[in-house]
Amino acid sequence: MSLELKSRVPAGPLERKWDSHRFQMKLVNPANKRKYTVIVVGSGLAGASAAATMSELGYNVKCFCFQDSPRRAHSIAAQGGINAAKNYRNDGDSIYRLFYDTVKGGDFRAREANVYRLAEISVQIIDQCVAQGVPFAREYGGLLANRSFGGAQVSRTFYARGQTGQQLLLGAYQALEKEIAAGGVTMFPRTEMLDLVVIDGRARGIVVRDMVTGKIESHAADAVVLGTGGYGNVFYLSTNAKGSNTTAIWRAYKRGAAFANPCYTQIHPTCIPVSGDYQSKLTLMSESLRNDGRVWVPKQAGDTRAPGDIPDAERDYYLERRYPSFGNLAPRDIASRAAKAVCDEGRGVGPGGLGVYLDFADAITRLGAHTVRERYGNLFEMYQRITDEDPYRVPMRIYPAVHYTMGGLWVDYNLMSTIPGLHVIGEANFSDHGANRLGASALMQGLADGYFIIPNTVGDYLASSRLPKVDTSHPEFRLVEAEVAALTRRFLSVGGTRTVDSFHRELGKLMWDKCGMSRNAAGLREALERLPALRAEFWRNVNVPGSDSELNQALEKAGRVADFLELGELMCRDALHREESCGGHFREEYQTEDGEAQRDDARFAYVAAWEHAGADRQPVLHREPLEFEYVHLAQRSYK
C-alpha cells in the first residue's frame, strides 16, 4: 500500500526540538488568516481550546458537537487533576522527570519527542488556565496547591476539588463563547459528524447530520481537526458519557487515516462496581482518593465478615505489600490487574465478589473527617448517592472499569494523521501515553494539543500547502452526502426485533471478556469469529424506530454501535498480533513469574498503525519503530 508513516520528529536535542520546530514552521500572515476556514469537531478540552485559540489567531473556525452545548463534552467529568512540571513543591520535579515518568508509565510505547513536548508545555497550561479564572485549589497563603497521583513520586497535580475537568472545560468553553461572540467561531451544537470528505488526497470538509431536523449537510474547510474523544464505549459499560463514540475517527479511518494501537485500553482501578444488568454506565471514583485511601481485601478467601469486623492482621493491603515504594499509588494498569488477581483468588468483596475495599479509616484518624471532607467531599457524596453506603463509616467498594483509550488515529509530530489536512487531538489520537496513561495526564494532553500545539501546526500546514478553493458544490461532497444518507436509510429499513442497546450490550460483554483487562490468543481468535456474526445479526435484525427527518436518538445510537461493531474487530486483531504484554495490554501468555507485564522490545517496540483496506478485506499493518534515545528501556518497576 501507499501509506507511509512519517513521524516528522524534528532533529536536534530533545529539549530543543519543539522550539526549533516552531521556528522552522511557516507562518500565515495575520491578514491572511481569516481567509482560511478550519473545522474543529468536538468541544471538549482539546476541541474547545483549539477552536478558541485558532479564532484568537484570526482563523475562521467552525466548531461542531453532538451535545446541546459545547460545555457538556465529557472532559467535564474528569475529577482528580492536571499534571504540570512546575516543581512548586521543591520535591525534585522537573520537565525531564515528568517526561521520564510519562514514558515509563506508558510502558515505553510512546514517542519520546511528543512526550517531552507535552511535559514542556504542561507549565504553560496552568498559567493559561489561572488567567482564565479557573479556581484551582490554593493554600492559605494564596499559592497553588498540589496533590499526588499514581505513577509519580512527586506532587505535581493541580486540582479544583474533585471537579478539575469541569473547571478546565468551563475555562476553555468560556474562551470559545468569547470567540463565538466575536464572530471568529461559528458553533454547531446538536450536530454529529458522519463522514470526512477527502479531495485530491487532502481533508477538505465533513458531512454532518443536524440532530434536530435530521438534515444531512456539508461543510468545506482548508483543514479539519478532530477532537472527538476516545472509544471506551465499545465495551458498553465504561466511565465514558453515554454519547461518547468512535464515529468521527472511525469514518476518518475508513477514508484513509491510519488507526494506531487500537488495543491499548485503560482500565481504571477505582470505579463503583456493577450492581445489575440494567446498568447503563460505570462511575469513576478519582484516583486522587488513593492519596489517602488504603486498598485491601481479606487475607482469607470467602471471608464474608463486615469490613469493620476484620482485624488488621487479617487484611491484605496488597498494593502496599507488592509495591512498597509506590504503594497505593501504583499506576492504573498495575493497580487494576492486582485487583483482578485478588478477586480471581476468591478474595473479592461485595455482591458477586467483584470488588475491593478503599478504606479511609486511617486517613480520618490521622487527618480528621473535616480534612477528608474538604479533599474528597463531593466524591464521597457521589459514592453515597449511587451505593447508599456512607464511606466515612464503611470502606468504599471499588472495581476496575474501562476508562480511557490510549489508541486512536495515528498522528505525526504535528498531530496530523496520514490524510494531509486531517489533524487529530486529545484522546482521539494515539500519541503521548503509550500503552498506559498516567493519572492527571489526559487533561494535560488535551489542553497542550488544543491551546499550544495545533494552532501552530495547522498554521504551518496551511502556509506550506497549495490549497485550491473548494466549496460544498464540489461533486465529492454530493457523493459522500449520498453515502451518508443511504446508510441512515439502511438503519431504518432493517425493521428487525432487537434494540440497538441489546446489540451494544452483547458487543460490550464480548469485548470485556475477550479483549479486556487480560487477553489471550484463544479468546481473541474466538472474538474475531464471533464479531462478524454479531455484525451480520445487527444488520439483519436491528430495530430502529422513527424517521430520519426528526430528533431520533435510536438512529443516533445505531450509527455509533454499527461503528463500534467494526472497531471491536480491529481492537481484537491488534491485541492478537501484539505478542507481548505492555501497559494496559496484558496478554496472559506473556508475563513474568510474579505476574507483571512482560514486554518484548526486540519484536514490538513499535506503533502498530492499521490501514483500512476495504469492507471485506483485512486491514494492513504498518509499523512506526520507536527509538529511545533518552529513556533507558527497562522492565517497569514500582516495587
Partner 1 sequence: MNFTLHVWRQPGPGLDGRMVRYEARDVSPDMSFLEMLDVVNERLTERGEIPIAFDHDCREGICGSCSLMINGVAHGPNPGTATCQLHMRSFHNGDEIHVEPWRARAFPVIRDLVVDRTALDRIIAAGGFISAPTGSAPDGNALLIGKELVDTAMDAAQCIGCGACVAACPNGSASLFTAAKITHLSLLPQGQPERIRRAGRMVAQMDIEGFGGCTLFGECQEACPKQISIDTITLMNRDFLRSACAPARAVVESD
Which residues participate in catalysis according to the annotation?
332
**Sign for the pseudo-dihedral over CA of 164, 168, 173, 174:** positive
Residues 6 or more apart whose CB falls under 8 angstroms from that of 278 comprise none
| Cβ 187 to partner 1 shortest distance, Å | 8
Vertex 122: Cα angle to 423 and 406 (nearest 5):
50
Taking the least distance from each CB to partner 1, the nearer of 42 and 105 is 42
Taking the least distance from each CB to partner 1, the nearer of 261 and 288 is 288
Centre a 10 Å sphere on the Cβ of residue 520 and count the other Cβ atoms it contains: 16
- Give the integer Cα–Cα distance in Å for 2 and 34: 34
Q: Any idea how long the chain is?
A: 639
| Cβ 256 to partner 1 shortest distance, Å | 30
- Give the integer Cα–Cα distance in Å for 407 and 230: 8
User: Is there a contact between 269 and 332 (Cβ–Cβ < 8 Å)?
Assistant: yes
DSSP one-letter code for 38 = E
> Grid coordinates standing for 199?
479531495
- Give the integer Cα–Cα distance in Å for 77 and 125: 19
Taking the least distance from each CB to partner 1, the nearer of 53 and 417 is 53
Vertex 203: Cα angle to 201 and 208 (nearest 5):
135
- Give the integer Cα–Cα distance in Å for 252 and 36: 22
| Cβ 269 to partner 1 shortest distance, Å | 17
- Give the integer Cα–Cα distance in Å for 370 and 375: 9
DSSP H stretches of helix in 451-552: 454-464, 475-493, 500-515, 521-541
| Cβ 27 to partner 1 shortest distance, Å | 14
| Cβ 316 to partner 1 shortest distance, Å | 28
| Cβ 239 to partner 1 shortest distance, Å | 8
Taking the least distance from each CB to partner 1, the nearer of 489 and 603 is 489
The dihedral region occupied by 408, where left means phi > 0, alpha psi between -120 and 50, and beta the remainder, is: left
- Give the integer Cα–Cα distance in Å for 330 and 343: 18
Taking the least distance from each CB to partner 1, the nearer of 382 and 531 is 382
| Cβ 448 to partner 1 shortest distance, Å | 11
Compute φ and ψ for 381, nearest 5 degrees: -65, -45
SS3 content of the chain, % helix, strand, coil (to 5): 40, 15, 40
| Cβ 82 to partner 1 shortest distance, Å | 11
Taking the least distance from each CB to partner 1, the nearer of 314 and 381 is 381
Residues 6 or more apart whose CB falls under 8 angstroms from that of 542 comprise 491, 494, 496, 498, 499, 500, 503, 558
Taking the least distance from each CB to partner 1, the nearer of 462 and 575 is 462
Taking the least distance from each CB to partner 1, the nearer of 385 and 469 is 385
User: Is there a contact between 220 and 471 (Cβ–Cβ < 8 Å)?
Assistant: yes
Query: Which among 431, 456, 441 is positioned nearest to 624, based on CA atoms?
Result: 431
Query: Which among 594, 482, 625, 631 is positioned nearest to 107, based on CA atoms?
Result: 631
| Cβ 599 to partner 1 shortest distance, Å | 35
Residues 6 or more apart whose CB falls under 8 angstroms from that of 484 comprise 194, 195, 207, 209, 216
Buried b / exposed e over 328-357, threshold 16 CB at 10 Å, is bbbbbbbbbbbbbebbeeebbbbeebbbbb
Taking the least distance from each CB to partner 1, the nearer of 312 and 388 is 388
Taking the least distance from each CB to partner 1, the nearer of 241 and 511 is 241
| Cβ 389 to partner 1 shortest distance, Å | 12
